[in-house]
Structure 1
Amino acid sequence: MKSQINLITIWTDDIEKMKEFYNQILGFEVKNDLENYVEFKNDGVRFAICMRDVMYEFSNEYKKKPSGQAFELAFPCETTNDVDESFKNLVRNGATSIQEPHNMPWGQRTALFADPDGNIHEIFAEIK
């Protein structure tokens, strides 16, 4: 095995709502839509969403309901002003506000938002 991530898949019970969010609100173009699995165009790591029940026959572990924040996707912005404007646009278009933009002690301006399943993600830019 290589120590390299090739694919990130978000498991969901409502693929239509999630597909609309990642496509319409975050701007990911759909590369492949198999109804219960949607892969988006993305430079670098492949990115997809998939119905959780697709995996039920392979492992009962997929039937367990997730609890708490298990992962975070972080989206880069060009500037700190871009963080502020992007956050406003995300929330205006349907993302759930978690934390408005603020400067972090590690030299980034960040903001947090959630997708329809409640997964919390970050937008950020380096403070220059």
Structure 2
Amino acid sequence: MSNTNLVSLRIITSDITRLVKFYEQVAKAKAKWATDDFAEIVLKSFTLAIGSTRTLAFFGEGTAEAAANKSVIIEFLVENVDEDYQRIKDIATEIVQEPTTMPWGNRSLLFRDPDGNLINFFTPVSDDAKKKFA
């Protein structure tokens, strides 16, 4: 087993206040602001960092682009995806897929944040999936 650990995912946005408020509602957790351009939502398994486009000056021009993700899905393990759907449908920009049981044993809800990033809320429902996340 590798000693490399994923501890944080950072989203770059042109409207940090809007995106932080959205993810506070999604994660049911309060963000910790380091500066006006950088906030973190610390969860049990990892930290969701949100930075404004102004933070890109530290990395170099063209390093990242806000609201341009078409390949990453941000996934949250939730206790009951069907119950969360009732809450999420009121705050999500778009519901991509209502709760659906997937062939690999998770019940998934796909939706988008205000920048168009894809989010998956999932609950293991098959025996194998439950064992994996026990």
TM-score class, shorter: 0.7 to 0.9
The residue number in structure 2 matching 1:23 is 24
TM-score, normalised on structure 2?
0.79
Identity score, percent? 27
Unaligned runs of 5+ in 1: none
Displacement of 1:96 after TM fit? 2.1
Distance in 2 between residues matched to 1:69 and 1:93, nearest whole Å: 21
Kept after mapping to 2: 8 A contact 1:53/1:62:
no
Displacement of 1:106 after TM fit? 0.7
Distance in 2 between residues matched to 1:50 and 1:6, nearest whole Å: 16
Kept after mapping to 1: 8 A contact 2:9/2:47:
yes
Displacement of 1:59 after TM fit? 1.1
The residue number in structure 2 matching 1:3 is 4
RMSD: 2.1
Distance in 2 between residues matched to 1:63 and 1:45, nearest whole Å: 21
The residue number in structure 2 matching 1:107 is 105
In the comparison of the two structures, how many residue pairs are matched? 124
Displacement of 1:39 after TM fit? 1.0
List structure 1 segments (4+ residues) > 6 angstroms apart after TM superposition: none
Alignment partner of 1:99: what SS?
Answer: strand
The change in CA–CA distance for 1:15 and 1:66 in structure 2 (over 3 A counts) is closer
Alignment partner of 2:23: what SS?
Answer: helix
CA deviations on 1:56-89 (whole Å, 9 max, x unpaired) are 25311236466442321111122xxx21121121
Distance in 2 between residues matched to 1:24 and 1:65, nearest whole Å: 20
The change in CA–CA distance for 1:72 and 1:94 in structure 2 (over 3 A counts) is closer
Q: How does 1:24-103 map to 2 (within 5 A)?
A: 24-62=25-63, 64=65, 67-78=68-79, 82-103=80-101
TM-score, normalised on structure 1?
0.83
Distance in 1 between residues matched to 2:68 and 2:86, nearest whole Å: 28
Residue identity matched to 2:72: F
The change in CA–CA distance for 1:23 and 1:65 in structure 2 (over 3 A counts) is closer
Kept after mapping to 2: 8 A contact 1:87/1:100:
yes
